[in-house]
Amino acid sequence: MNEPSPGRDTPGAIGSALLVGVGVAALVYSSEFSDLGAVFPLAIGGLMVAMGVLYLVFYAMGRTQRAAPAAGSNLRRAGVAVVMLAWAFALPSLGFLASSAIAFVLLLMLANHERWTLRTVLLYGATGVLVLGGLYALFKHALQVPLP
Amino acid sequence: MTRLARTIPATLGGLALAAAATLAGAAGYPEKTVNYIIPFGPGGESDVSARLQEPVFKKLTGQSLAIQYKPGAGGAAGWAQLNSIAGDGYTVMGSNLPHIVLQPLQKDVGYKTDDITTVFWFHFTPDALLVTADSPFKTLKDFIEAAKKAPGSITLSGSGTNSSNHLAQQQFDKMAGIKTTYVPFGGTGPSNTALLGKQVGGSFGYSTIQMMLGAQVRCLAVAMEARHPKLPDCPTFKEQGYNLVGGAYRGVAVPKSTPPDVQAKLADILAKVNADPEFIRKMEEGGFAMINVGPAQMPGFMAEIKARYEALAKEMGIVKQ
Amino acid sequence: MGSLEYLLAALTPLNLLLALAGVVAGTVIGALPGLTATMAVAVLVPFTFAMEPAAALIALGAIYTGAIYGGAYAAILLNTPGTPSSIATTFDGYPMARGGRGDLALTLACLSSVIGGLVGAGFLLLLAPPMATVALKFGPVEYFWLAVFGLTLIASLGEGSTVKGLIGGCVGLLLSMVGVAEVGGDVRYVGEFKALLGGVDVVSALIGLYCVPVLIELVASPGQHLDATGRVASFRLREASTLMGRAKFNLARSSVIGTIVGILPGAGGSIASLVAYSEAKRVSPRRAQFGHGEPEGVMATESANNATVGGGFIPTLVLGIPGTPPDAIILGALLVQGIRTGPTLFTEQAPVVYTFIWGLILATVIMLPVGLLIGRFAFKSIVAIPKAVLVPAVALLTVLGSFAVHNNPHEVQQMVVLGVAAWVLGRLGFSASPIVLGLILGSIAERGFVQGHLIGGARGSVVAEFLGRPISIAIIAFILLGLLWPWWVKRRQARQGQQGATTNE
């Protein structure tokens, strides 16, 4: 997927360091568990810390490879992440139709790189209504899923 | 007419209207499908008994019961969310004893026993000690003797930790003066697999398992007052000298906010389902034992059960510090 | 034998119609990310109460096998497994799609699924009772080693650094420990979030970890998602058949692996396809291409996961123990119908069972034309839909799907949080597959370990318990083989290279 490019894998090292932190936290919290319940957390937490440290060692030794930086708009990417998070957490309060309609429109705007002509607005809008309405009906009525 | 005489008809009329309004609130219930959430995975006792209720419910009310599963944390995931569901009577949840008494005692599971409003208990599955058909233990006595000879070496599978099966095993260990090793599994399915595969020496399960597995297992004892009508060869613990009676009770609960008249109507429907002869036959053939605890008996029943299990829990040392 | 009369019984118009409808409905449901085979079966069950037992089973079996096949669509076209069974199909399916060979991948998936399904059903028809005993021989210790085997496959997946893959696996394993411990009842890593008491839901995590990063990446640049390269999408049947013919051993082996894993209660299509994939990769001369669009990868995974359908019915019908999650639901439906499962099922209720098995075989055969048609339709639409609409539509499906598993908005939140985290980790070089594998296998491994520990302790020696059982030893041998084989091959190649160098002088 990502071609390697020259240079050390700094993002990977950062990630490893973060995950070492997570592993340590897991180990610390596992002190509250019963004997049997703590076996796996300790083993896995330990393994994670060991592997993370190992990777950091490789990084320091220069034996890591860096993936190519991804092209494209980071702003849009972040936008999608934010919209989806907000959508998921708004579901209980705003209800399904409201939060989904808003999110759908926002995602539509984020995903569309072409210019917005009247035709595209109408076409995409109509499709959106159809898709949202159709899926809502399918789930709520045909499948009897109680959407919020 | 005097003013008093005139007010009497008015008051009576008012009362009648109020009564009619209350009844009308519940009179139409149910007018659409009722969601029946089982806080366990499919295929277990809660699921099967619910599925047996469904056609009778439909016959009596004309509406369907839509069964859904919400497993997690041995049922706690569902019960912790019960009271956040709309209390209109169209969403009900399976309720289980001793789970709802024991779980909050052990740790913070997101709900308290009194948060669960059960409207009707419709059956229980008595605990049963089972071994495979070719096991060297032919009777309960054989089992106890073997256990005494090698303490801790006999393994018993069961569903869950600190569940009805586990409690039964611990109680029986104490009563018989033996030590067995309980190996918890994630449900009756895996517990049965372990039993049949001889991974363990025996299993503390339910009478329903004896019915399900048929000739492949032998029932050494069942925790009932008298033998189950469909299991004549299964002696009770009591008749062999051990006062062990109990099992898992299952019922239907609603969110706390459900109006009392809807609760009453629901309990009424469930009682009628429980009286259906075909339903009773299918349940008993499955190994279930019928009980009928409705709103009238509920407070007394719950108080007694809570007291019993709380005492047991303290004895077994599973109450949180 | 007498079973042929049941074939005729299965050929009634009603049963054929049910099989057809079931396969179509199952394929569509399985294709939508977020809707799993288990859900598809659960939705249909209430309708089956009015049917005859054999017809009900045929309908449920058809929807089940259709859903397992349908999961390949989203896996190949959107890099999102439609069901957990299709996780391994993304490894090579999606690269094939990106490389312009998506239609070939879909055809291969269809053909392989049919073959796998037939093998599984064949075992069910002919060998069910003896095979069921295999299920019983697997105890907690065997499951533990099987899970370890699955986890070592992470190392062999080899996308990027192995160390990073292992770290990802550990993340997944830690996630699997969130919630109430099955053995011991500890409440672990929950903190204040009571919603996590039930643990991290696998399906929500699956959707989030795979689908959300794809969505985030899709918006980054203009241009279509998958290039149609102007060529008319065809079935590419001839090409597909040639490839399938070359891969006969792969197909046979993967189907058998799928059947056996399906027989094991608690192990389903996800594990089956993974094991089949890893074995196919290990013995293939083209192993370097695996993960970059090698057709044999898709063939291995799709035949294995459809074989679990037939395989899973073996313990379900013979022992009354569900082989895979949808089987648990089917078992419940059978009990309500009054069908008592067990060894006597094949003798006392032979008409029902054999009619059903033939019906399953018919449904699988029907899947061939139906699947190809639906696949072509799906491919053309996904390719043609402008990205602007595709992204919100798929996002909507992920939200609906993760909600519909347990009607729980918290799981939607889990899905998105995990998804965004997965995207961040992906940018840092940690891919999603090891995390998902860790999550799925973690509970199996831990359960097996702790139960084995208890049993071993009771029997006197924990070590003997873990290392002394025949099946465990066989699995451990496979683990060692899997770990050492690549290293040995490399050494052999290096030695041959040296020899070649000396002879060339």
Locate B217 and state its tokens: 């297992």
- Residue with the bigger pLDDT between C503 and A128: it is A128
**Count of beta carbons in the 10 Å neighbourhood of residue B152:** 14
User: Exposed/middle/buried for B264, CB within 10 Å: 0-12, 13-18, 19+?
Assistant: middle
Number of Cα atoms under 13 Å in the Cβ half of residue B88: 9
Number of Cα atoms under 13 Å in the Cβ half of residue B138: 0
Contacts for A9 with CB less than 8 Å, ≥ 6 apart: A59, A64, A65, A66, A67, C161, C429
Q: Contact C404/A9, CB-based, under 8 Å? A: no
**Count of beta carbons in the 10 Å neighbourhood of residue B173:** 17
**Do residues C219 and C391 lie in contact, with contact meaning Cβ atoms separated by under 8 Å?**
yes
Angle made by CA atoms A37, A38, A42, in degrees to the nearest 5: 150
The pLDDT score that the predictor gives to residue B23 is: 46
Q: Taking each helix axis from N to C terminus, what angle separates C53-78 and C13-31, rounded to the nearest 10 degrees? A: 30
Distance CA C74, CA C199 (A): 26
Asked if C425 has any chain A CB less than 8 Å from its own CB, the reply is yes
Asked if C183 has any chain B CB less than 8 Å from its own CB, the reply is yes
- State how far residue A40 is from chain C, nearest Cα, in angstroms: 7
The pLDDT score that the predictor gives to residue A16 is: 87
Distance CA C205, CA C435 (A): 10
Q: Which amino acid is at C66?
A: G
In 3D space, the residue among C299, C272, C277 whose CA is nearest the CA of residue C109 turns out to be C299
Distance CA A13, CA C483 (A): 25
Q: Taking each helix axis from N to C terminus, what angle separates C202-218 and C409-427, rounded to the nearest 10 degrees? A: 50
The H or E element spanning position C133 is helix C102-137
Q: Taking each helix axis from N to C terminus, what angle separates C269-283 and C432-459, rounded to the nearest 10 degrees? A: 110
Number of Cα atoms under 13 Å in the Cβ half of residue A53: 8
Locate C256 and state its tokens: 């058998």
The sign one gets for the Cα dihedral C470, C475, C477, C478 is positive
Distance CA A25, CA C62 (A): 47
Q: Which of C161, C174, C390 faces A26 most closely, judged by CB atoms?
A: C174
Q: Which residue of A has its CA nearest to B32?
A: A144
DSSP string for B112-135: -GGG-EEEEEEEEEEEEEEEETT-
Interface of C with B in 104-133 (CB under 8 A): none
Asked if B35 has any chain A CB less than 8 Å from its own CB, the reply is yes
The three-state secondary structure class of A81 is helix
Contacts for B18 with CB less than 8 Å, ≥ 6 apart: none
Best of C91, C92, C186, C418 to disrupt the A interface by mutation (most A CBs within 10 Å)? C186
Distance CA B166, CA B171 (A): 9
Q: Contact A144/B66, CB-based, under 8 Å? A: yes
The pLDDT score that the predictor gives to residue C230 is: 46
Largest alpha-carbon pair distance within chain A? 66
Asked if A146 has any chain B CB less than 8 Å from its own CB, the reply is yes
The verdict on whether omega for the bond into residue C351 sits within 30 degrees of 0, i.e. cis, is: no
The pLDDT score that the predictor gives to residue B10 is: 47
Angle made by CA atoms C270, C335, C448, in degrees to the nearest 5: 40
Q: Contact B91/A146, CB-based, under 8 Å? A: yes
Q: Contact A144/B35, CB-based, under 8 Å? A: yes
By DSSP bridging, strand C179-180 and strand B91-97 are unpaired
Best of C29, C151, C174, C414 to disrupt the A interface by mutation (most A CBs within 10 Å)? C174
Could you tell me the pLDDT band of residue A1, with boundaries at 50, 70 and 90?
Answer: very low
Q: Which amino acid is at C305?
A: N
Q: Which amino acid is at A25?
A: A
First to last CA, chain B: 71
Number of Cα atoms under 13 Å in the Cβ half of residue C417: 11
Distance from chain centroid for Cα B233: 24
Residue C469 has φ and ψ, to the nearest 5°, of -95, 140
Buried residues in C438-470 as b, exposed as e (16+ CB within 10 A): bbbbbbbbbbbbbbbbbbbbbbeebeebbeebe
DSSP string for B33-76: PEEEEESS-TTSHHHHHHHHHHHHHHHHHS--EEEEE---GGGH
Q: Which residue of C has its CA nearest to B47?
A: C332
Contacts for C505 with CB less than 8 Å, ≥ 6 apart: none
Distance CA C50, CA C347 (A): 24
**Do residues C172 and C502 lie in contact, with contact meaning Cβ atoms separated by under 8 Å?**
no
Contacts for B103 with CB less than 8 Å, ≥ 6 apart: B74, B75, B76, B79, B109, B162
Q: Contact B197/C342, CB-based, under 8 Å? A: no
Distance from chain centroid for Cα A110: 16
Q: Contact B189/C42, CB-based, under 8 Å? A: no
Q: Contact A88/C221, CB-based, under 8 Å? A: no
Asked if A117 has any chain B CB less than 8 Å from its own CB, the reply is no
Q: Which amino acid is at B172?
A: F
Distance CA C150, CA C141 (A): 14
**Do residues A100 and C397 lie in contact, with contact meaning Cβ atoms separated by under 8 Å?**
no
Q: Contact B155/C328, CB-based, under 8 Å? A: no
Over chain B (321 residues), the average pLDDT of each successive run of 10 is 52 48 60 88 82 88 85 83 85 91 83 91 91 90 90 89 86 89 85 87 89 84 88 89 88 92 91 92 86 91 90 77 47
Q: How far are the Cα atoms of C61, C146, C206, C328 from residue C319, in angstroms, in the given order?
A: 18, 22, 31, 12
- State how far residue C95 is from chain B, nearest Cα, in angstroms: 36
The H or E element spanning position B251 is strand B247-254
Q: Contact C320/B212, CB-based, under 8 Å? A: yes
Residue for token pair 């491994």: C445
Residue for token pair 């991804």: A70
In 3D space, the residue among B125, A87, B216, B104 whose CA is nearest the CA of residue C320 turns out to be B216
The pLDDT score that the predictor gives to residue C229 is: 52
The pLDDT score that the predictor gives to residue B121 is: 94
The pLDDT score that the predictor gives to residue B204 is: 93
User: Exposed/middle/buried for A77, CB within 10 Å: 0-12, 13-18, 19+?
Assistant: buried
In 3D space, the residue among C36, C17, C16 whose CA is nearest the CA of residue C26 turns out to be C36
Radius of gyration in angstroms for the set of CA atoms belonging to chain B, rounded to a whole number:
22
H helices present in B68-115, as ranges: 76-81, 99-106
Asked if A62 has any chain B CB less than 8 Å from its own CB, the reply is no
Angle made by CA atoms C211, C215, C219, in degrees to the nearest 5: 170
Locate A17 and state its tokens: 């360091």
Q: Would you give per-residue pLDDT tens digits along chain C (505 residues)? A: 456 777 777 788 888 888 899 999 899 888 887 788 888 888 788 788 778 888 888 899 999 999 999 999 889 988 888 888 898 898 899 888 888 888 889 999 999 999 999 999 999 988 888 888 877 888 889 889 888 888 887 766 656 677 888 888 889 999 988 887 777 777 788 777 777 777 888 888 888 888 888 888 888 877 666 665 545 556 677 788 888 888 889 999 999 999 999 988 877 888 898 889 888 888 888 877 888 888 999 999 999 999 999 999 988 888 777 888 888 888 877 877 777 777 677 777 778 888 888 889 999 999 999 988 888 888 888 777 887 888 888 888 888 888 877 778 888 898 999 999 999 888 888 888 888 888 888 888 888 888 888 888 888 777 887 888 888 888 888 888 877 777 777 788 788 776 655 555 4
User: Exposed/middle/buried for C296, CB within 10 Å: 0-12, 13-18, 19+?
Assistant: buried
Asked if A89 has any chain C CB less than 8 Å from its own CB, the reply is yes
The H or E element spanning position B266 is helix B260-275
